[in-house]
Structure 1
Amino acid sequence: MKLDTVREDKAILNVTSRLADSFADIHTSEDVEAAVRAAREQFADDPVREYVPILVERIVRTQLSPAPDPVVPDTPTEPPTPAGPSAPAGPSAPADGERRVPRIGVALPAAVAGVLVVATIATVVIIRNGDDVQASGITTVSGVIGSEKRAFFEDPDVRAALAKHSLAVQIDTAGSREIATKIDLAKYDFAFPSSTVAADRIQQGSADRPGVDGKQYAVFSSPMAIATYRPIANLLSATGIAKQVNGVWYFDMRRYMDLAKAGWRWDDIRGNTTYPVRKRLLVTTTDPRTSNSAAMFLSIASYVANGQTVVQGTAEERKVLPYVTPLFVNQGYTDNSSEGPFDDYLALGMGKTPLVCIYEAQFVDAAVRGKLKSDMVLMYPSPTVQSRHTMLSLKPNGDKLGQLLSTDPELQQLAAQHGFRTADPDQFAKVVSAGKVPVAEQVVDVADLPTYDTLERLLDSVSKAYR
C-alpha cells in the first residue's frame, strides 16, 4: 500500500532548510540534501511515519556536526574484525526489539566520520512494540483535546519542535464540555479544552465528578466565527443579517435571532433563487451538551437576547432561554465536537451546511492548507466572543508541556500557522497575509462571557429541552 506522506514531505523540506542554515559554514546545501535523502531512505518501508522527520533531523545533525578529536586508548578494547566472507557487515547485530541506524555516506574526513558512526548508533534507536514507535530519550505526554486542535498536534513540524525538548504528545479528541463532564482524566497528563470556562469546570468539578488540581495555561485564542459561502452571504445581505466591511463579512446576531424567532425559513427570503429550501434559517452548531463551540454560540445568543448585556442571575436566565433554546433544539441532530460540522462544510457544500458556527482558526488553517473552495467565506457574528484555548496540566509532564506551548517561540509560530491567535499578533498577521485569508485584523465587537455558573445553568436548561 502506498503511504500518504504529504505532511511528512512538508516536514522534511523544513528539516532540510533548517539543517542547511545550521551548517552553511561547513557543508554545502547539496551535501545536506544528500544526507537527508539517505537518512530518510532508511525508513522507506516503515508504515509508522510520525517520527520519521524527527529521526532524520537527529541523524543528520549528528553526522554533520563537527566532533572533537577521538581519544585513542592505549590498548584496543577488542581486536579488529578480519575481513572475509564470514565477517559481519558493519556493526554487530542489534538485540531483539531494536533497530540500529547505520551510518549515512556523507563526504566527511575519515577520522570524524568514524566517530559519527558510533555517535549515531548510540543516539538514535527505534523501539517497537506492535505499531508503537518511540524515539530514544523522548518522553510521551498524553492528553485529551478539543478536536479543532488535532491538526496542530499532528503537524510533523510541531512534533519536531516538541522533540527538541524531548517530548512527544499522544492525543485523544472529544468535545470540550464532554472533556469537562464525562471523560476519565486519570489516564492523561493534560486536558486541553477550547475555553477557560471548560477548564474551570474540570478544576471545580461537580456533584458527581470531583475537581482536579492543576495549572491553567491560556496557550492561544480564536474568536467564534461562521463559515458560509459567498452566494449565501450575498443572499443574507438582502435580509439585513450579513454585511461586508472592508472585505470582511459580519453576521448581525440580533437580526438573525429576530428572524429565527419569527420562524423564518430560507424560502421566505424574497427573491431567493440561491437556496430556495424549506429548512429553518439556522446556524449549524455542535451539541451544547458536549461541545465548547456550541456553548460559545449560546453565550453570544444569550448576550443579545438580554439586550446586549451579560446574563446575570436566575431572572435573566429565565428571560433569555425561550429565545436561545430553539436555536439549538430546532437543528435536530448535532455533532459532539467542532470537527464534524466543519468537515461537512468542506466536503458537502451549502446544501448540507449553509451556515456553520466554527472557530476562526479552523477556517484559517483550512485556507493556509489549500482546503477551501473559491466560494467559501468567513463571517464574524456581531457580537462574537473570544474562545481562549486553555490547557490544564494534570500531571508533571503536562505542566512541562503547558509551559513549553505557552512560551516557546517556534511552537507559538506554528500555532499561528494553524490559524490561532497568539500573544504576538504579528505572527497571525503574517500567516493570513501570506495566505490571503480575508479575516478581521482586530475583532472589536466582542461580548464578555457569562460566569461559569451562569453558563452551566443555561447549558443545563438547553440540554433538558432536548429531552
Structure 2
Amino acid sequence: MAVDAAREEKALHAVTNRLVERYVEVHTTEQVEAVVGAAKRRFDGHAVREFVPILVERMARRELEPDDAKADPEQADTELTTAIPLADNSNSARSHLFDTLDLSVLRRRSVLLGAGAIVTVVAIAAFAVVREPDPAPVAPAAAPLTTVRGVVGSEKVAYFEDPRVAEVLARNGIRVEVDPAGSRQIATSVDLAGYDFAFPSSAAAAERIQRGRGVSAKYTPFSSPMAIATFAPIVDLLTAAGIVTPGAAPVFDAEKFLALAERGVQWDQLDGNTVYPVRKNVLVGTTDPRTSNSAAMYLAVTAYVANDNTIVRGATAEAHALSRVSRLFTRQGYTENTSDGPFKEYLAAGMGPTPMVWIYESQYVAAAVSNQLKPGMVLMYPSPTVLSQHTVIPLNDGGDRLGKLLATDPDLQRLAADHGFRPNDPALFTKVAADHRVPVNPTLIDVVDPPDYDTLEHLLDGVARAYN
C-alpha cells in the first residue's frame, strides 16, 4: 500500500529539520521551508507517494547547495535512505512515479533494502530508456516584499486590486496597499504622514500636495479625458435640442448646454420629450466639487466656456465665471465625494436618477472590458473637455520607486490600458478599446487646459460658498 499522508508529512518534517540543521550558516529556516515546499508541490497528483520525501530532499539539496550531490553522491544518498521505508514494491505502483525518479538514487536504495526491493531495480532499468528528464530546478525562495502604502483616487482602486498588477509589482519586490479618497480630499484634508505616496487624479491636486509637502518629484503614468456617461434616448433627445452632435462617440456642446441650463430648462420642457419627461433641471450629475477632482474638472470646463471660451485668470474673470456656473452644482442636491459612487449608480439604476453622469473615460472603458455595460449605454465627449492627469507624488523612497515603475514598466502600462486609462503609449489604449468595441475618440482635439492652481482653488472655494 502507498505511504499514507500522515507518514509522508512526518517524513517531510524530518527532511526539513535535517536541511535546516545542515544549512543553518547559509540559509534561514524560512528559506529552507520555502524550498522544501516548492519541491513537494512538483509531486502533487502522483498516486504513488513512498519516494516523495526522498526526491524532495534531493531536489532541495541541489537548490540549497548545487554542488553538494556532485561532490559526494554516496554520502548524500546514504542520508536520503533514512527518509522513509518502502511500502509497495510492485511494478504497477512504480510506473506512476518513473517520470520523477532519479535512477542512480533508486539503484543504490534497492541494494540497501535487500532482496525485497530487487524488482524496483528491474522495473527502473526496463523504463530508463524512456523516462522523462528530471524536474526543473526549484525556484529560490522569494525575497520579502516591501510594502508601499498610498492614498489614491477611487477610480484607481480596481487597478491596484488587480492580481495581475500585484504580480508585476511583486516581481519588482513591492506590495502596494491603497486607501481611496477624493483627489481634493487627498490634497487638502487627508493626513499623509502614514503614507508612502499620494496618487490624485489631477495635476492641480498633485501641485497642492507638492507645495504642502515640499516634494519636487512626480510621475504621470497615465491620463484620462473627462466624459459623460449617458443613454441612447438622452442622446437622441439632446440631438433634437441642438446640444449633441450624434455619432459613434457623440459630442456634447458645453457652451450650448450652459446657455440652456442658465435658463433653468427642465427635461419635460424639451420639445418632443417622451423618453424622459421628468420635472428636473437639465443637468450633468457630478461629484462634490469641494472634495472630488472629477467635479473640479467639470468646473474647469464650464468656467472656460462661461469666460467666453478663455482660461479664467484674475478676480474679475473668476467672479463672472462663478456667477454662471455655480448653479450647475448647487441645483444637483446631494453629491458624493468620489467618482466611484455616481458611476456605480449609473451602471445599476439606469437613467432614472441621473440621465447624464460626469465621469473619467477610463471608468466607462473599464466597465466595457469587464462586461458591465448594458444595451443603450453611451459614452459622450464634452466639447471642450479636459485631461485628468493621474499623478503620483512620492513621499519617500518607496513611493518614488513605485512611481517610476508605474510610469515605465511595460506590463504595468499595458494593464493600465486594460483598466481604461490612456498610458504613455496611446496604441495600448486604442487596442483595448478596439478589442472590446468601445466607441472612443482616440485623438481628442478640443481639449483645454484647466486654470492654474490658485485660480482653480478660488473657483472651488466660490462654489463651496454658493452651497451656503
Please give the TM-score of this superposition, normalised by the length of structure 2. 0.74
Are 1:332 and 2:329 an aligned pair? Answer: no
Q: Which residue of 1 aligns with 2:227?
A: 225
Q: Distance in 1 between matches of 2:300 and 2:420?
A: 22
Deviations, residues 268-309 of structure 1 (Å, cap 9, x unaligned) = 101111000001111000000100000000000000000000
Deviations, residues 39-73 of structure 1 (Å, cap 9, x unaligned) = 8x99xxxxxxxxxxxxxxxxxxx99xx99964325
1:280-295 correspondence runs (5 A): 280-295=281-296
Amino acid at match of 2:366: D
Note the C-alpha offset of 1:212. 3.7
**CA 395–109 in structure 1, closer or farther in 2 if over 3 Å, else same:** farther
Q: Distance in 2 between matches of 1:115 and 1:357?
A: 53
Are 1:275 and 2:309 an aligned pair? Answer: no
**CA 139–263 in structure 1, closer or farther in 2 if over 3 Å, else same:** same
Q: Which residue of 2 aligns with 1:182?
A: 189
Q: Percent identity over the alignment? A: 51
Q: Which residue of 1 aligns with 2:456?
A: 455
Q: Which residue of 2 aligns with 1:98?
A: none
Is there any run of 5+ residues in structure 2 with no aligned partner, and where? Answer: 1-37, 46-58, 87-96, 104-132
**Equivalent pair of 1:67/1:115 in contact (CA under 8 Å):** no
Q: Distance in 1 between matches of 2:430 and 2:442?
A: 7
- The residue matched to 1:392 in structure 2 has which SS? strand
Q: Distance in 2 between matches of 1:419 and 1:198?
A: 21
**Equivalent pair of 2:287/2:294 in contact (CA under 8 Å):** yes
Note the C-alpha offset of 1:322. 1.0
Q: Which residue of 2 aligns with 1:163?
A: 170
1:98-177 correspondence runs (5 A): 107-108=99-100, 110=102, 116=137, 119=138, 123=141, 137-177=144-184
Q: Distance in 1 between matches of 2:409 and 2:302?
A: 36
- The residue matched to 2:316 in structure 1 has which SS? helix
Q: Distance in 1 between matches of 2:217 and 2:295?
A: 25
Amino acid at match of 1:241: I
**CA 187–106 in structure 1, closer or farther in 2 if over 3 Å, else same:** farther
Q: Which residue of 2 aligns with 1:443?
A: 444
Q: Which one has a bigger Cα radius of gyration?
A: 2
Q: Distance in 2 between matches of 1:113 and 1:139?
A: 34
Amino acid at match of 1:356: V
**Alignment equivalent of 1:243, drawn from 242, 245, 259:** 245
Q: Which residue of 1 aligns with 2:68?
A: 71
Q: Distance in 2 between matches of 1:330 and 1:386?
A: 25
Q: Which residue of 2 aligns with 1:365?
A: 366
Please give the TM-score of this superposition, normalised by the length of structure 1. 0.75
Note the C-alpha offset of 1:442. 0.6
Note the C-alpha offset of 1:137. 1.7
Deviations, residues 365-413 of structure 1 (Å, cap 9, x unaligned) = 1011100001100001110001111110001011000000101111101
**Equivalent pair of 1:214/1:395 in contact (CA under 8 Å):** no
- The residue matched to 2:303 in structure 1 has which SS? helix
Q: Distance in 1 between matches of 2:136 and 2:249?
A: 59
Q: Which residue of 2 aligns with 1:234?
A: 236
Q: Distance in 1 between matches of 2:83 and 2:440?
A: 68
**Equivalent pair of 1:287/1:334 in contact (CA under 8 Å):** yes
**Equivalent pair of 1:144/1:188 in contact (CA under 8 Å):** yes
Note the C-alpha offset of 1:109. 6.3
- The residue matched to 2:265 in structure 1 has which SS? coil
Amino acid at match of 2:400: D
Q: Distance in 1 between matches of 2:412 and 2:98?
A: 31
Q: Distance in 2 between matches of 1:274 and 1:398?
A: 50
Q: Which residue of 1 aligns with 2:309?
A: 308
Q: Which residue of 2 aligns with 1:402?
A: 403
**Equivalent pair of 1:306/1:316 in contact (CA under 8 Å):** yes
Note the C-alpha offset of 1:84. 5.4
Q: Distance in 1 between matches of 2:135 and 2:351?
A: 62
Q: Which residue of 1 aligns with 2:262?
A: 261
Q: Which residue of 2 aligns with 1:297?
A: 298
- The residue matched to 2:353 in structure 1 has which SS? coil
> Larger deviation: 253-262 or 212-221?
212-221
Q: Distance in 1 between matches of 2:304 and 2:451?
A: 8
**Equivalent pair of 2:100/2:135 in contact (CA under 8 Å):** no
- The residue matched to 1:148 in structure 2 has which SS? helix
**Equivalent pair of 1:212/1:394 in contact (CA under 8 Å):** no
**CA 193–107 in structure 1, closer or farther in 2 if over 3 Å, else same:** farther
Q: Distance in 2 between matches of 1:106 and 1:178?
A: 63
Note the C-alpha offset of 1:106. 11
**Alignment equivalent of 1:192, drawn from 166, 174, 199:** 199
Note the C-alpha offset of 1:422. 1.4
1:4-15 correspondence runs (5 A): none
- RMSD between superposed Cα atoms in Å: 2.7
**CA 82–380 in structure 1, closer or farther in 2 if over 3 Å, else same:** closer
Note the C-alpha offset of 1:185. 0.5
**Equivalent pair of 1:216/1:392 in contact (CA under 8 Å):** yes
Q: Distance in 1 between matches of 2:98 and 2:194?
A: 44
Amino acid at match of 2:217: K
- The residue matched to 1:321 in structure 2 has which SS? helix
Q: Distance in 1 between matches of 2:66 and 2:362?
A: 50
Amino acid at match of 1:419: G
Amino acid at match of 2:298: F
Note the C-alpha offset of 1:220. 0.5
Higher normalized helix content (fraction of residues): 2
Is there any run of 5+ residues in structure 1 with no aligned partner, and where? Answer: 1-34, 43-61, 86-104, 125-135, 206-210
**CA 297–82 in structure 1, closer or farther in 2 if over 3 Å, else same:** closer
- The residue matched to 1:123 in structure 2 has which SS? coil
Q: Distance in 1 between matches of 2:160 and 2:260?
A: 40
Q: Distance in 1 between matches of 2:356 and 2:102?
A: 64
**Equivalent pair of 1:266/1:276 in contact (CA under 8 Å):** yes
Q: Distance in 1 between matches of 2:242 and 2:135?
A: 74
**Equivalent pair of 1:214/1:393 in contact (CA under 8 Å):** no
